[in-house]
Amino acid sequence: MTTGEAPAGLLAGIDPERMAATVDALAAPAFAGRRAGSSGGEAARAWLSEQLAGLGAHVSADPFAVRAVPEIYAVPEAIWHDGARPRRLMFGRQMLPHLASADLPSARRGDLTIAGAGDPAGRWLLVPSEMSLFEAYGHAHGAAGLLIGRGTDPDGWHYTMLAGSDPGPLPMLTLDPATHAAMTAGSGRLAASAPIRRTDVTAANLHAHWHPGTGILLTAHYDGVGDHPGLRQPAASDNASGVAVVLEAARVLAAALPGGAGLAVALLDAEELGALGSAHHAARLREAAAAPLVINVDGAGRLEGAAAVEAGGPAHALLARLDQAGRHTGLPLKPGPAASDNRRYTAAGLAAVGIGAGMGGYHSPADTPDRVEPGTLAAVCRLVVATAWLAATNTTTLPSLIGD
Amino acid sequence: MTDKKPGPGGFTGDPDAALEVTKTGGCCDGGAVSSPCCGTSAQASAEKSCCGSTAKTEAVAAGQSCCG
């Protein structure tokens, strides 16, 4: 294969069906939503390790400790009695334990009242939308718990968030806006639990290389927010889709670059906990004085117009390659937030770009494989392969003939 | 390869504009390295969360990556 023929041959070898199958596999019940430190996450890592080894890579895992990973460990109960009849609130749609909730294993009963509007003792407090959580705590001495209105996704599901607030002193439930408004207007009483716990776990990044040395580092996080009891959260777009793109790009590139020279892959854990896997890896790279060009993919599920690109560090040349690749493959690009692992590499002083091409669902049961478009997987993979090829051949002083 | 075909792909303007994303308030005013999220600080505060759900929904719908 000559240098000039390489891109066309590489791009023709990209298989959307293979990527869709990867998404299906990672989103399957056996991996339970792939929360960091869970048995599902561990099983997913073992499966991914096999996939990388099958590509001829040298594969290793790099574990690291993560503290206080939140987990809803039982189906929470919430029964609102408005004085006329009891109504059981639907887990995941009408209510969800708040990330900052204290653990409340069994249902606690109490009258409803508005935070700041009366004696809170023994009552569930409805927090008005204009009141901060900090202020609500000030009105909550002796309260049964707090009830916070929060928007849902277009399918009516609450978002599950793992990164953010530390646990507070009270049980807290988030309610969808309609339920929060109805409770505020109707009052009554509530019996509710909030079974949420925090566990120290071991997460692990997966690393693959085909040749000593790293010029191009392809990254994607494989963890998800995890299933809830009785409620699957497949994490297909976020980020089985990105992993599928990276695996397929690695398969194509490893076969084309001499010995896979300069190519490395990192499949990262604990992104949903605050990009902890990439923070761990970026620190290792700094210690080793390594400076690969990083291409991170987070969300390749539903392209609408243009893929968002966020860059950081000394990424001018990498951006130029990305632009060339976009022109070559016909994928429009736009500057936009890609708030993902790429930021950790940027913070470590590395040239890094984050690519996001949409999600059909996000942190909810709606993030299913059927919402991941094979055409989007293919478009993003073509972009990544062309960019990496341009950058890799440049580092080995081979000329690039892509571009206009 | 003799690929010179101009296409609709790539950036419409200066690619280096992608280096400015986090400096313009794209995600929690760009200070969200330790806990990445989408939306401005004001939106996040209103939602009592790191990430405003409206900002998150809009970001995801617009094809932007979003996490944390």
Residue B30 is predicted with a pLDDT of 37
Q: Let me know how many helices (H) and strands (E) chain A has, helices first.
A: 10, 16
Per-residue pLDDT reduced to its tens digit, A24-44 = 999 999 999 999 999 999 999
Contact at CB, B33 and A344, closer than 8 angstroms: yes
pLDDT, residue A6, reads 56
Beta carbons of A339 and B27 less than 8 Å apart: yes
Tell me which residue of A153, A158, A168 sits closest to A78, measured CA to CA: A158
Residues of chain B contacting A3 with CB distance shorter than 8 Å: 1
Least confident stretch, A18-22, A164-168, B32-36: B32-36
Q: Is the pLDDT at B54 greater than 50, yes or no?
A: yes
Of A305, A319, A402, Cβ closest to residue B18: A319
Angle between helices A39-54 and A241-256 (to 10 degrees): 20
pLDDT in tens, A184-207: 998 899 999 999 999 999 999 999
Among A223, A310, A342, A363, most B C-beta atoms within 10 A, so best to mutate, is A310
Nearest CB to B64; choose among A159, A162, A336: A336
Q: Is the pLDDT of residue A340 over 80?
A: yes
Mean pLDDT of A76-101: 95
What pLDDT, on a 0 to 100 scale, did the predictor assign at position B21? Answer: 81
Q: What is the pLDDT of residues A47-72, one digit of tens each?
A: 999 999 999 999 999 999 999 999 99
Check B64 against A340: CB less than 8 A apart: no
| pLDDT (mean) for A148-153 | 88
Nearest CA in chain A to B28: A339
DSSP code, position A237? I
Residue A89 near residue A149, CB atoms below 8 Å: no
**A-B contacts (CB, under 8 Å):** 210
pLDDT at site B66: 46
* Residue A327 backbone dihedrals phi, psi, to 5 degrees: -65, -40
What's chain A's average pLDDT? 91
- Band (A100; pLDDT cuts 50, 70, 90): confident
Tell me the pairing of strands A196-209 and A263-268: antiparallel
Mean pLDDT of the A221-234 span: 97
Q: A296: closest CA among A253, A212, A374, A239?
A: A239
Judged against a pLDDT cut of 90, whether residue A77 lies above it is answered with: yes
Question: Which of the residue ranges A195-199, A290-294, A301-305 would you say has the lowest mean pLDDT?
Answer: A301-305
**Structure confidence at residue A225 as a pLDDT band (50, 70, 90):** very high
A355/B65 Cβ within 8 A: yes
Which percentage of chain A shows pLDDT scores above 90? 78
- Residue B19 has its nearest CB partner, among A162, A307, A312, at A312
Query: Higher confidence at residue A114 or residue A343?
Result: A114
User: Does A404 have pLDDT greater than 70?
Assistant: no
Token pair 């399918």 in the structure block, residue: A155
Per-residue pLDDT band for B52 (boundaries 50, 70, 90) equals low
Taking an 8 Å cut-off on Cβ atoms, the answer to whether B22 and A347 are in contact is no
Q: How far are the Cα atoms of A106, A266, A400, B42, B67 from residue A206, in angstroms, in the given order? A: 39, 6, 31, 37, 20
Counting residues of chain A whose pLDDT is more than 70, the rounded percentage is 95
Mean pLDDT over A171-186 rounds to 94
Query: A121: helix, coil or strand?
Result: coil
What is the predicted pLDDT for the residue at A168?
85
ipTM here: 0.86
pLDDT at A271 over 80: yes
- CB–CB contact A323 B61 (8 Å): no
Q: Is the pLDDT of residue A3 over 70?
A: no
**Of the listed ranges A238-242, A287-291, B47-51, the one predicted with least confidence:** B47-51
Amino acid type, A92: G
The alpha carbon of residue B32 is apart from the nearest alpha carbon of chain A, in Å, by: 8
pLDDT at residue B48 in the model: 46
Q: What is the pTM of this model?
A: 0.89
Q: With a cut of 50, say whether residue A96 has pLDDT above it.
A: yes
Average pLDDT over residues A143-147: 97
Residues of B numbered 9-68 whose beta carbons fall under 8 angstroms of chain A's beta carbons: which are they?
9-12, 15-22, 26-27, 32-38, 45-51, 53-54, 56-57, 59-68
